[in-house]
Structure 1
Amino acid sequence: MIGLQERLARTAGANPRFLADNQPERTLYTTMGQSVWITAAFSAAALPAALSLATGRFNPIFLLFGAIWGLFIFNLDRWIVSAVDHVTLSVNGRTTKRERVAYRLRRIGLLLARLAIAVLIGLSVSEPIVLLVYTPEINAQIDRDKAIEKDLVANSVRNNAKDRSRIEGLRSELESARSALDAAIEAVRQANANLDAEINGTGGSGTDGDGPRAAERRRELTAATEQEKLARTAVSNAERTLAEAQQSIVPDQDRRIKAEQERIDRRKGLIDREVALRKISQQDHAVAIARWVLTALVSLVDLAPLLLKMCTPRTLHDRVLRTHVARRFAVAEEVIAEDIAADVDVAAYARMRRVQAQKALIDKRFGSGDRVSDPAIPDSPSSPDRDGENQAPLSEQSTRPANAVGPPDSDGPSLGSARIVVDAHNILGEAGDGIDRYVGGRWRIGAQLSNADPALAWRTPYLAEDVFQRYTGVAALKNIHPPNKARGAIEAQQEVSSLPHNVEISPYVAPLLDGGYDADFGWFVVTPYYRKLTLQKRMEHEPMTLRTALAITEQVLEGLLAAFTYENRLLLHFDIKPSNIAFDDDGHVRIIDWGLSDVMNPDYRLSIDLTSGYTMWYAPPEQVLAEPGSNTAWKSPRCDIRAVGAVLYAMMTGRPPLFLEASSAGLLDGDGNIDRSNEAEFHQLLAGTLPEPLEAFFPSMGRTAAFRRLSDLVQRWLHPDPSRRVDDDGTQPAQENAVRALRDVVAEMHAEAPHLLAREVGAARVKIPRRRSGGFDGAAPRHAPATWADDQYTTVRPPSPEPAELGSVS
């Protein structure tokens, strides 16, 4: 293909090399190219015509504008006919159902967009041509419209309200002057009559001839005559003023009428032509039909490129072009894969050299004789010192050991001075388990602790040690932001800033040793490592007395109170549950995992409201039902108090609150969890139902008034209405009122039934209560879970323990 045919085919987006031996498709693409050129020519001619009609005269500059417009339409139509969307770029051409559906949706969307563009272009090109075809009729209609408009303008000017008001005022003044003249003439006539009567002797004096009375009448006549002269002068002035006004207004009106008519004669633009054509179409339906037929024919010419593209099936040229592009794409992918592999090798080598240099630098600066076996400690100057310029380290702020009990100012060795003795392999792990991995330039991490939930493996803590020996114990370091996730960074920052770093705010709250962002590890927090694990594990494997359960509850409330009142941060946990309650070496509570925490004091809050998470069995209804981004007025200390009540309920009955009720209603799945399809029903149950009271599980203990008061207290803490959980007069924190209420109940139990404190509680020591509505029997529910992991529960029958004193949780 050479010459004109090749150029036309290229205009349609075809490759002449692929059409060399394909005459039918060569004709097809040549026709497409011709339609593109014809549409561009129509457009280039239509714009000067439209501009000439709009301005009423032709200007050579319009040809330049027409050429630019035609070039724009030419390129736009070329894009319409030459764009090709391949289903897939795989060499073998195989496609999946998803790719085919996506291709059809893209094709429909592109066709609709192209059709809309083509219709707009067609109308813009066709309308000027239609106006040119109907020029005689349009001009006649415009002349008629102008004549009517001129008459309206003349009448409007002649009847101008301002001029009319002025003339009417002058006429009113003239009439008033004439009325005054008539009155003056009548006064003169009457004065003459009175004077004649006095002279003739028929007047009031009865004496004829001149006399005093006649002189008086003569003076009245003189005054009346003067008034008549004045009245005649006023009438003359009013007539002259009216005549002058009329003479000045009429020429002015004539000038305005002439100016308006000249303006009407000069106006003959595009809008007038459109209006005239519309009127002609309304008056004569044949003209209207002919107009739209002509518009459709001209628009069809402009739509020809799109119609040819839409109506043409997939050609052999398209298949050959797709194969050609797919092969080039495959080659590019292979080259990119090789480049990436080479870059990875280079990065690995560079990382190895950097680690070696850091090891050598740290060994030279600090030496390696006082640390655990591996001396390779990288130094990261960019990592911030979490202690702060004015913040003393934890060992200097507190003179109490990490596991000490009592007030923070009690005597004792510094925190971490007695290093926990753990096998080095438990700290550093085996080869490849993190022995050479450092986080934040300060923490060397080793073996990862076990986690029963594979979905949360990314959050499982690592054992860690402080390479700078600021903290000499064994620490637990965990990632707090899901890997490869864009969301959650704000929540991670909130957890990092929830507690003050390196400060022990309470003997019952795990101190936050460090936290921040590491480029290789992500967001992390560091706390001491507690070997005695969590309350969740303890409930699974160890027996528990009522005294122990109450002591744990008291310490949790004390820890929450300390976090709430520390520096007036008003910090709330929002995720109290057995798996977030750990124990230090002395068996005392340590509240951990502040990932869902939030502060009520705006001075410490982030500027954005965080997405509210929750744990189903323990969170209060206001937290479970809160919508993301909604009003945060529901957040209060009563949320944590409800969760503490749920933990105490679970310690005593072996099941979380409403577990039996949910089981009776058939809301649980085979594993004892809330079925997703039943979550809405459980939300209704949570928002409007109290669980079975404690005395229903312990009938013999429930006979004592002290135990019933404990049961009532727990029921209050679990109430769906937050305002009814704690007696709060607003002067003291709700946590403090809850602690006081618990201590009052324990004191009453000490006084009335101390033997109850030594009674074992838990799943193995309760009797499942019966309910009139059915669903409870004397055994565990049919949906009772088989395991207790995180928030799932198991029935464990522990051996009877020795009674413990209240105040110790060991």
Structure 2
Amino acid sequence: MLQQFFIICSGSDTDILKNCSKGEQNKYAGIGATVFFTAFMAFIAASYALYTVFDNLFTAIGFGLVWGLLIFNLDRYIVSTIKKTGNIIDELIQASPRIILAIIIAVVISKPLELKIFEKEINQVLLEQKNEFTLANKEQIAQQYTPTVESLTSDIKALQDEIDTKEAEVNNYYNTYIAEAEGREGTMLLGKGPVYKEKRDKHDAELATLQELKETNKAKIIAAEAQIAQLNADYESAVTTSQPIIDNFDGLMARVNALGELPWLPSFFIFLLFLVIETSPIFAKLLSPKGEYDIKFLENESKLKTWAEQQEHQRKAVLNTDNIINDRVYGDISEEEELYAYKKKIARELMKKQQEAFYKKQTKML
């Protein structure tokens, strides 16, 4: 039962192979088993690859099954269409397009399994890339807010410097009128005279200006700080909103690119393994000697070709004979006076009717 299933997988003619030796049946059962297990590996590889895309087990298995059946059908077709002619050059030329197709299939099959085999290494590469993307993302978002924040910070500093400058000026007036009262500066007279009063009034006026300036600038500073706080909140919100996109950067294309960052030699050997598996049915048939099945298959093909040629030749002979007979029949008829006279009569009547119709039409027009 199992042997019969693998024989069907090989794409061979079961009716012909049934009358061949056990060794010939085992050979094609082996080729069919290779075709089946290659398709099975394609099913596993495609299911994993699609699982990384859809993140749904049933969807991945469904599409993987379709892909496995497609590979099975292609491999079965490739193997079944290679004919053993006994000339290795002709067979290689015949199989070359199929070998190229097998190489492409091997690449498609091996890549998802490489992703699974090197999953830990790929995850490390993806983690490094995500960290780089996170830093770059923060810098890009910061470029939208930093100029405004820096401008507001500069305004706050200018407002504070204005207060400090004014405060230093007021303190200087204070020290001046105190020194005047103590007789250390100015008139050098101890006591609160007219000069002292003048300097005291100047200080009090500037102190009032300072208080007004402090209130005004303080309100501006509070407003600027509130705006800075809002910008920082917006920045954090933008970073938080965009971070899930970076965290989900682990799809199929991202993993394939991450695989390309790893050393190429292990991946190359895995590709060679699947290339051997995929091309093994083809080379098994190419390298195997022309067997009993091939002889019988070519014999049946030759019989069918000969029969088709005979049928075509017969149809051509019938057609040629029929043409010759028709030529003779119509040649004999063309010489009969009765047929000539009848056709002449019909032609005369037809011409009369055409002339009458033309006359009636011209009369209506006039």
Report the TM-score, using the length of structure 1 for normalisation: 0.35
Change in Cα spacing, 1:38 to 1:244, as seen in structure 2 (3 Å) is same
Alpha-carbon shift at residue 142 of structure 1 (Å)? 4.0
Alpha-carbon shift at residue 185 of structure 1 (Å)? 5.5
Matched ranges for 1:453-492 at <5 A? none
AA aligned to 1:68 is: V
Aligned match of 1:164 = 146
Structure 2: runs of 5+ lacking an equivalent = 181-185, 188-192, 348-366
- For 1:117-141, what per-residue CA distance to the aligned partner results, in whole angstroms no more than 9, with x for missing partners? 1111112222222332333444455
Change in Cα spacing, 1:344 to 1:185, as seen in structure 2 (3 Å) is same
Change in Cα spacing, 1:309 to 1:85, as seen in structure 2 (3 Å) is closer
Matched ranges for 1:662-701 at <5 A? none
AA aligned to 1:11 is: C
Aligned match of 2:313 = 337
Change in Cα spacing, 1:319 to 1:140, as seen in structure 2 (3 Å) is same
Determine if contact 2:149/2:231 at 8 Å carries over to the other structure. no
Q: Provide the rounded CA distance (Å) in 2 between the counterparts of 1:86 and 1:350.
A: 48
AA aligned to 2:255 is: R
Normalized per residue, the structure richer in strand is 1
Aligned match of 1:30 = 29
Matched ranges for 1:215-226 at <5 A? none
Q: Provide the rounded CA distance (Å) in 2 between the counterparts of 1:351 and 1:226.
A: 133
Alpha-carbon shift at residue 326 of structure 1 (Å)? 1.6
Change in Cα spacing, 1:188 to 1:360, as seen in structure 2 (3 Å) is farther
Partner residue of 2:79 out of 78, 81, 88:
81
Q: Provide the rounded CA distance (Å) in 2 between the counterparts of 1:181 and 1:8.
A: 94
AA aligned to 1:256 is: A
Within the alignment, does 1:231 sit opposite 2:207 as a pair? no
Q: Provide the rounded CA distance (Å) in 1 between the counterparts of 2:240 and 2:12.
A: 63
- For 1:641-694, what per-residue CA distance to the aligned partner results, in whole angstroms no more than 9, with x for missing partners? xxxxxxxxxxxxxxxxxxxxxxxxxxxxxxxxxxxxxxxxxxxxxxxxxxxxxx
Partner residue of 2:6 out of 5, 8, 22:
8
- For 1:723-773, what per-residue CA distance to the aligned partner results, in whole angstroms no more than 9, with x for missing partners? xxxxxxxxxxxxxxxxxxxxxxxxxxxxxxxxxxxxxxxxxxxxxxxxxxx
Aligned match of 2:357 = none
Aligned residues: 328
Aligned match of 1:130 = 114
Within the alignment, does 1:114 sit opposite 2:90 as a pair? no
What SS does structure 1 have at the residue aligned with 2:57?
A: coil
Alpha-carbon shift at residue 9 of structure 1 (Å)? 2.6
Structure 1: runs of 5+ lacking an equivalent = 88-92, 94-99, 203-207, 283-287, 368-810
Change in Cα spacing, 1:174 to 1:351, as seen in structure 2 (3 Å) is farther
- For 1:350-407, what per-residue CA distance to the aligned partner results, in whole angstroms no more than 9, with x for missing partners? 566667579938972799xxxxxxxxxxxxxxxxxxxxxxxxxxxxxxxxxxxxxxxx
What SS does structure 2 have at the residue aligned with 1:160?
A: helix
Determine if contact 2:20/2:292 at 8 Å carries over to the other structure. no
Partner residue of 2:132 out of 149, 157, 168:
149
AA aligned to 2:22 is: Q
Bigger relative contact order, structure 1 or 2 (CA pairs below 8 A, ≥6 apart): 2
Matched ranges for 1:387-406 at <5 A? none
What SS does structure 2 have at the residue aligned with 1:60?
A: helix
Change in Cα spacing, 1:178 to 1:142, as seen in structure 2 (3 Å) is closer
- For 1:555-579, what per-residue CA distance to the aligned partner results, in whole angstroms no more than 9, with x for missing partners? xxxxxxxxxxxxxxxxxxxxxxxxx
Aligned match of 1:173 = 155
Aligned match of 1:560 = none
Aligned match of 2:224 = 242
Within the alignment, does 1:310 sit opposite 2:286 as a pair? yes
Normalized per residue, the structure richer in helix is 2
Alpha-carbon shift at residue 264 of structure 1 (Å)? 3.4
Q: Provide the rounded CA distance (Å) in 2 between the counterparts of 1:178 and 1:63.
A: 68
Q: Provide the rounded CA distance (Å) in 1 between the counterparts of 2:207 and 2:329.
A: 132
AA aligned to 1:65 is: F
Change in Cα spacing, 1:275 to 1:338, as seen in structure 2 (3 Å) is closer
Mean Cα deviation higher: 25-34 or 126-135: 126-135
Partner residue of 2:69 out of 44, 68, 71:
71
AA aligned to 1:4 is: L
Q: Provide the rounded CA distance (Å) in 1 between the counterparts of 2:153 and 2:120.
A: 50
Determine if contact 2:137/2:239 at 8 Å carries over to the other structure. yes
Q: Provide the rounded CA distance (Å) in 2 between the counterparts of 1:4 and 1:17.
A: 17
Determine if contact 1:44/1:70 at 8 Å carries over to the other structure. yes
Q: Provide the rounded CA distance (Å) in 2 between the counterparts of 1:86 and 1:21.
A: 16
Q: Provide the rounded CA distance (Å) in 2 between the counterparts of 1:326 and 1:60.
A: 49
Alpha-carbon shift at residue 292 of structure 1 (Å)? 3.3
Change in Cα spacing, 1:259 to 1:182, as seen in structure 2 (3 Å) is closer
Alpha-carbon shift at residue 164 of structure 1 (Å)? 1.1
Determine if contact 1:170/1:238 at 8 Å carries over to the other structure. no
Matched ranges for 1:440-519 at <5 A? none
Identity score, percent:
20
What SS does structure 2 have at the residue aligned with 1:314?
A: coil
RMSD between superposed Cα atoms in Å: 4.2
Within the alignment, does 1:360 sit opposite 2:358 as a pair? no
Alpha-carbon shift at residue 73 of structure 1 (Å)? 1.0
AA aligned to 1:116 is: I
